[in-house]
A and B are shown apart, each in its own frame.
Chain A
Amino acid sequence: MKLSVGQLLLIALACDLAFATGLKGQAENVFDVKFEMSVKGRSIHDVFEEIESKTDFRFFFEKKVLKGRPKVTFEEKTLGDALNSISEQARLNFRQVNEVIAVTEPKSDKDKKPVEVLLYDKNLQGRVMDAETGEPLIGATVQVKGTSMGTITDAKGNFRLSVPDDAETLVISYIGFETQEVSIANQTTFNVSLKQNTSFLGEVVVTGQGAGINENRISNKVEVIKAEELENIPSQRIDQLLSAKLPNAQISLTGGQAGATSLIRARGVNSAFLNSTPIFYIDGVRMDNLNTRGTLGGGNAQRAAISSIADIPMDNIERIEFINGGAATTLYGADAANGVIQIFTKKGGASSKTDITFEVQTGIETPTTDFLHFERSEDLLFQNGFYQKYHLGINGGNEDFGYSFSGNFFDNEGSQFADNNANRKIDFSTGFRAKLGEKVDYNSSFIFVNNQFNRNRNGNQGGYTGLWFAESGSSTLVGFNNRLDELTDAEFDEIKAYAHRAEELQDNEINVNRFITSQSFKYTPINNLELKFTGGIDYRLQTEQTIITNEYLSHTTQNEVNDEGSITNVDRDYFGITLEFTGQYKWFAGDFSFISTAGGQLFRNEDRQVEFVGTNIRDGAQVISDAAIRNSDEFLIEVLNYGIYVQQNIGYQDKVFLDLGVRGDRNPAFGDNIGTQYYPKVGLSYLASDEPFLQGVDWLNSLRIRGNYGLAGNLPPAFVNERTITFTGFQGEQAAFFANPGNDDLKPEQTTTIEAGIDVAMFNNRVSFSVSRYNATTQDALFFVPPTPSTGFDQSQLSNVGEIENKGWEISVNVEPIRTDQSSLRFNFSVNTLDNEVVSSGGTAPFNINGFSARTIQTVVEEGFPVGYLRGNLGVFGENGVFESTTPNSFLGTTLPDLYGNMGLAFDYGNFSLFANASYQQGAYAHSFDQQFRFLYQASEDIIPAAEIEANGRSNWLNFTNEFIEKTDFIKVRDIGVNYTITPGSSAIFNRITIGANVVNPLNFASSSFDPEATQSGAAQGQGGASTGGISYAVYSAPRQFLTTVRINFK
């Protein structure tokens, strides 16, 4: 039987009172209570008062129930009969629960019942908590199985309930959690922990809402990933971790080196100027999310760049929320069109227990050799490296205070020869939660990360780079036979000695120190009003040092030099402050509920990059003070964005919700002619499963239909709206030049998203699926309009001239075919389609975002094509196999997949669990420069017809670039793991011991001969520029790791 919330509340109160009074002793049945009463034309209220004055019974009802009821007339001899007469005349239902009589209004004639009598002498009490956090669950339903008897938990999660002696089972349920049944037997006190249900709606989410709100009430999906889903995946990076976990986003690491950038795309590519990386928050504080090279250092345009995402701390995460743009991100305003990923760190549980976990993870990292052309490249460039990681986690607290600590040490020798990819990371984080008096809650987190890694030369770095030397065949330039697999052992030993020495002589090191803190206060002055202030900083210092010795140059060029040694240092110093103030007020009026939210947000960040270079320096020097020539350069950018927002969420009968909101943003980066930018949203969420006509459908657990319209933006970089002059030195004097042309009309690009979707959970929540259709159009898209040669400017000016459209389906399915007390088997699968097109370029010439020169290969933005399509020479061969003609600047394929998603399985049997995650894509293409170079350097003949090689040798190598383009469909298994958990009940020390084994990146199935994900993402446009990958050139694949884990949880 289903009860409305109002009825449950009333009954709960009745039960509480019954419980209280019941403690005095057994109540009488109202039909056994002699109570002679003669009433003529009196109000019901009067009658109730008289009964209460003469008996121990108490009536409970909502005032509106008696409103408008007729006066009653009767003459009866028992209280039960009197109630029956009133019930008949005034059309009311009465339910006696011991000494309490609940009065309700029947919804229909069918619902009209005679007086119910419930006399219980068993008084139960207990508490319902979140199994994961130990937090009390407020409003959880506790019912006696098979009856309508029940109550709901109070603000502390407590309940009390009087039940008949023969009551056997309690059913405890809470929205968003798995329902649990508890045997009553002789127990009177119950502490029940409910497990969260991952396939069910109704969770409280924060991201994109200003303050916490039940997901039912909002019109978009919020992906939530919890700590337990993360803890078994041995990843060192948040993006790598999420790559198989977010069903509707595609995340690819673009290289196997530590700190490599990633391509993160949700809902396609909505910008041709800005990287598609979402913005990241930790506990409400915005993070540095630079996922391309920096302006200075950080890898040059075509070199593997360094990502700030790589060192976002990972080991103290409570949960992660992800929203993928559109209306969901409207409240983030001018720079959230790519979506928002928010990390919530642990702040301790409420169970008064201190949870201590120690974990050791060790193993071997080996190279992923699946995509190497020459088998012997492995011997030339790679090694097996030792991997170790130690983690200590402490989590504890009570209702009023919580704390957590996490410390980690990670050391990985890496799989590239001479430890050229070694990585060491140390991080500490703490989280606190405290109740400061009755009305104020305080939360804080502090995180420190030190990440240190080596890099060998890779990509288009010029000179010797290992992969270019071995796989592209450029070893021929220094006199080697480049067909590695055809060499004699002696020949191979020679080239190996050369390559090993070249690798050993490289000395490139990156060191990152990062400190993040978030502080927040929540003030609840009155019921239903919550004011929250959040402030925090992210400070990240990246130092990058590249030492090129004369010995290295002499060895790799085979030309003795002694005055070309150099040290290049680049420091990137990022400091970001976030301040946010939010107020949320909840109020109710009849069937309507309202949640009003208003707030303001400010973020300001400063990105300072300093390069200092010493050239002509003696080998052995580590600092540039010993250099004959010293140069330096500096880059500074400051961003300030502030906005205010209001949001109104209106609920009707807790099943239809209207979500309205708007944010206004200002930013000094906007042109002089541009004022406040507004981002409105409107959405509807309808819980159809709460309709009476669906309540009888047993197999349906929930059904929600939703739709929304919303705007989100991408900010232009700071100061590009201003016309500037730049200076440099020329022959010892100050030289002035045109710099930025300026644009008084510069404004953020705005992505308008229309979305509709349906979320269904069924078969006891064992099957759930979610389908969304979106259409996102970026108007006033910012294009880097290439400088017109006759204007004298050599910098592209950002202008709001383009229009980009992304549309597609997002489907995710979770199925649990096996669910028993002992075991469960769960599958998840997601399917996303993408149709991306530059609808208008506003007359702008096609421009390159991530490729090389027009005669080689470019990824280009052009009207009528997908963003970042491959453009180059399209060659045609005659029937005889000889090259005939070439068409430059031809479309050679899109770099964006039209289908992608993730899949995973999790199997638990008793203490054993097995899990695997995979990603896939279809429909994208990429270019292999390695292949093209192999052809040029005569290391391979496997692509181009023999007749052409015979006729023209390699001279046409750039005339048929299309021949080196391949389809990049793939299925990649990201990890496979097994765990066995021992619970030594007899031990006074150990609570749980988990032993696990993982293989990371175990299997790759790809249609291309090269790694479809190991594509350059340097973004030729510069810092933060758009990139779609698509060019495979001397980039290492993400390595394979074989790891074992021992995790001990102490009592």
Chain B
Amino acid sequence: MKLRNILPVFSLMIFGACVENPNVTEEIFLDTPGPSKSWVTGLRGQLASTMSTILINTEMISDNYFNNSTLYSKVFDAPVVDFTDLDVNILQREVGRLREMADYGLETVAPADPSIEAEDLAYMHFCRGFALLLAGENFTGLPIDALGEVVGWQTLLETAIEEFDLAIAESSDAEAIDAYQLLKARTYYKLGDLANTRNLANTLVGDTSLLFMAGFDGENGFGNQLQGALFPIGPNQSFEPLPRLDFLDPKYFNRGTAATDQRPVALAKAEEAYLIMMEVLLAENNLDDAQAMGVALLDVVEGRSTELLDDSGETRIGPNRSGYPTTAVRIREDENSTFKEGYVLDRRTDEITTFTVSGTRVTRDEINATTTVDELLYLVYRLRQEVFISEGRRSSDLGIRFPVSETEQLNNPNVGDAFIQPVLPMFIPLNGGMDAFTVDEAGDVTMLFDMNKVIVDNKTSEDIVPFM
């Protein structure tokens, strides 16, 4: 074969061997019909993913749950938080990803898709707002744009309100609008804006069925990690609730295969309007109305569905600590409290009642028996803890805030050192104190700290109880 023949053959071979990216490039995605539908579904998936990360980490860092496994964070339980920690980075990434995906949807996908619907635009605004709300509740500050300057949590929350307003303006779905309104109220509440909180929350009280949830999808990798920790199939490695919250465990569980039965998490539910209003009323020193609001709240809670569950496989055995009660022993919130029954369930004998939306052991009598703002405030925070358990709210109520991650700081020139320190309020016990308890000879359990008391005792701290 002559050289002049070889060269074309060789060139042909190179040409014939060309490779094509089997993945969809951004250009192709935007050029094919209906990108906004897929993007909004992606946002729903991302919301699931973000919530999964928020739940597993914030429930652990709070007094709600103890990580009695060798999985997940090894230090948040203490709590120890450092900006170099990979889990801090993951938390920030999940929140940032939800916001950035919403941004991209609004700025790039929406303009490229003439068929986009208003409800999809509303959902994008909601996601952006919700990401900023999560950021404002759980972080000291975060960038508001990709590689942007870090802004404080107040600014994050203020921007969240703007987004919720845009979502409300675009949406014509009444239920969604109510949820967005409630999220707005929650945002104002966290900002300590009493007037706006009162106005919004007041309009929502009475809407007892409001329940806006984020769903998961275990078959496609969008599982609820907390469900796996609360109701594991593995060899007894799981999250253990603080014994006085035992009756609320597990909020998430599966019947049959875990992958096909992933329980959703409530993002906005009617109870919150009542809880917010109770604090508003207490801030206004209106104990009577606050009590009435509390009693009305219990009606809402009791109206929520429950399920019976065979949880006899729960042994409360794990590598990190033993001694969790598994029989119906008595508990007390701390050594100064009195023992109470009904808080720890004996799961081996009967099916248990699970509260898949809300549950509480706070009673009307307890609410009505309060004589001071602080007494009812204590019950408000008990209610918040019990109603919102496993929904990722408790650590924010305790004033815990995560820092901006090291990765963000290294890659983003706009991150100063001011935001790389976590906020762990001085009153938060360290070295596992929040999860600690003792068991006496009779098997009765005493918590080391009653964190609701701690909250009330420190209510003037700028980190907690927004209206005090």
Interface residues of A (CB under 8 A from B): 462-464, 474, 476-478, 553, 556-559, 561, 563-564, 577, 579, 581, 600, 602, 604, 615-616, 628-629, 631, 636-640, 642, 668, 718-719, 722-731, 733-740, 742, 785-794, 843-845, 848, 853-856, 888-889, 933, 936-937, 955, 958
Cα separation A731 to B40 with both chains bound (whole Å):
12
Using A792-B97, A888-B82 as known contacts, say yes or no to A564 and B408 having CB atoms under 8 A apart: no
A-side contacts of B408, CB under 8 Å: 788-790
B-side contacts of A791, CB under 8 Å: 96, 100, 146-147
Question: Could you write out 9 A-B pairs with CB less than 8 Å apart?
Answer: A478-B236, A561-B233, A639-B19, A724-B21, A731-B41, A735-B41, A736-B41, A789-B97, A888-B84
Cα separation A604 to B15 with both chains bound (whole Å):
11
B295 within 8 A of A: no
A-side contacts of B221, CB under 8 Å: 728
Closest chain-B Cβ to A555's Cβ sits at a distance in Å of 11
Partner of B19, one of A563, A640, A740, A843: A640
Cα separation A955 to B77 with both chains bound (whole Å):
12
Cα separation A640 to B13 with both chains bound (whole Å):
11
Give A600's nearest chain B residue, CB to CB. Answer: B10
Give A628's nearest chain B residue, CB to CB. Answer: B257
Give A564's nearest chain B residue, CB to CB. Answer: B233
B85 within 8 A of A: yes
Closest chain-B Cβ to A468's Cβ sits at a distance in Å of 10
Give B314's nearest chain A residue, CB to CB. Answer: A559
B412 within 8 A of A: yes
Are B85 and A788 in contact, CB atoms less than 8 angstroms apart?
no
Give A856's nearest chain B residue, CB to CB. Answer: B74
For the A-B complex with A845-B407, A888-B82 known, give 17 more contacts whose Cβ atoms are closer than 8 Å: A564-B233, A640-B19, A727-B24, A728-B45, A730-B220, A731-B215, A734-B41, A735-B38, A785-B411, A787-B407, A788-B407, A791-B96, A792-B146, A843-B410, A845-B406, A853-B86, A888-B84
Cα separation A728 to B20 with both chains bound (whole Å):
21
Cα separation A740 to B256 with both chains bound (whole Å):
36
Partner of A725, one of B26, B235, B258: B26
B-side contacts of A792, CB under 8 Å: 96-97, 99-101, 103-104, 146
Give B22's nearest chain A residue, CB to CB. Answer: A636
Are A629 and B260 in contact, CB atoms less than 8 angstroms apart?
yes
B46 within 8 A of A: yes
B-side contacts of A786, CB under 8 Å: 89, 407, 411
Most buried by B among A615, A786, A789: A789
Most buried by A among B95, B256, B410: B410
Using A629-B259, A788-B146, A790-B412 as known contacts, say yes or no to A638 and B407 having CB atoms under 8 A apart: no
B39 within 8 A of A: yes
Are A629 and B257 in contact, CB atoms less than 8 angstroms apart?
yes
Q: List B328-362 residues whose CB lies under 8 Å from chain A.
A: none
B272 within 8 A of A: no
Q: List B139-158 residues whose CB lies under 8 Å from chain A.
A: 142-143, 145-148
Are B84 and A889 in contact, CB atoms less than 8 angstroms apart?
yes
B-side contacts of A856, CB under 8 Å: 74
Which 4 A-B pairs have CB atoms at the shortest separation, nearest pair first? A792-B100, A638-B19, A730-B45, A736-B38
B-side contacts of A719, CB under 8 Å: 21-23
Are B17 and A737 in contact, CB atoms less than 8 angstroms apart?
no
Cα separation A738 to B41 with both chains bound (whole Å):
13
Are A737 and B25 in contact, CB atoms less than 8 angstroms apart?
no
Are A724 and B235 in contact, CB atoms less than 8 angstroms apart?
no
B234 within 8 A of A: yes
Are A556 and B235 in contact, CB atoms less than 8 angstroms apart?
yes
Partner of A730, one of B23, B44, B95, B321: B44
Closest chain-A Cβ to B138's Cβ sits at a distance in Å of 13
The main secondary structure of chain A at its interface with chain B is mixed
Partner of B23, one of A600, A724, A738, A933: A724
Are A616 and B256 in contact, CB atoms less than 8 angstroms apart?
yes
Are A790 and B82 in contact, CB atoms less than 8 angstroms apart?
no
Cα separation A125 to B260 with both chains bound (whole Å):
86
B73 within 8 A of A: yes
B48 within 8 A of A: yes
B-side contacts of A787, CB under 8 Å: 93, 407
Contact with A along B78-102 (1 / 0, CB 8 A): 0000101111010011011101110
Closest chain-B Cβ to A305's Cβ sits at a distance in Å of 21
Contact with A along B1-43 (1 / 0, CB 8 A): 0000010001001100111111111100100000101110110
Cα separation A958 to B76 with both chains bound (whole Å):
13
Are A557 and B93 in contact, CB atoms less than 8 angstroms apart?
no
Are B96 and A789 in contact, CB atoms less than 8 angstroms apart?
yes
Partner of A462, one of B234, B317, B411: B234
Are B219 and A629 in contact, CB atoms less than 8 angstroms apart?
yes
Give A559's nearest chain B residue, CB to CB. Answer: B313
Most buried by A among B17, B256, B258: B17
Using A557-B233, A640-B18, A789-B93 as known contacts, say yes or no to A739 and B23 having CB atoms under 8 A apart: yes
Q: List B220-276 residues whose CB lies under 8 Å from chain A.
A: 220-222, 233-237, 256-260
Are A734 and B37 in contact, CB atoms less than 8 angstroms apart?
yes
Cα separation A559 to B74 with both chains bound (whole Å):
26
Cα separation A734 to B33 with both chains bound (whole Å):
13
A-side contacts of B89, CB under 8 Å: 786, 789
Cα separation A876 to B406 with both chains bound (whole Å):
25
Partner of B236, one of A477, A722, A844: A477
Cα separation A845 to B217 with both chains bound (whole Å):
32
Give A725's nearest chain B residue, CB to CB. Answer: B29
B319 within 8 A of A: yes
Are B29 and A736 in contact, CB atoms less than 8 angstroms apart?
yes
B-side contacts of A725, CB under 8 Å: 23-26, 29
B-side contacts of A668, CB under 8 Å: 18-19
Cα separation A629 to B217 with both chains bound (whole Å):
13
Are B410 and A936 in contact, CB atoms less than 8 angstroms apart?
no
Are A730 and B48 in contact, CB atoms less than 8 angstroms apart?
yes
Contact with A along B95-124 (1 / 0, CB 8 A): 111011101100000000000000000000
Closest chain-A Cβ to B233's Cβ sits at a distance in Å of 6
B75 within 8 A of A: yes
B-side contacts of A848, CB under 8 Å: 86
Cα separation A1008 to B423 with both chains bound (whole Å):
42
B432 within 8 A of A: yes
B-side contacts of A788, CB under 8 Å: 146-147, 407-408, 411-412
B405 within 8 A of A: yes
Give A843's nearest chain B residue, CB to CB. Answer: B410
Cα separation A844 to B406 with both chains bound (whole Å):
10
Most buried by B among A561, A725, A936: A725
A-side contacts of B45, CB under 8 Å: 728, 730, 735, 737
Q: List B395-415 residues whose CB lies under 8 Å from chain A.
A: 405-408, 410-412
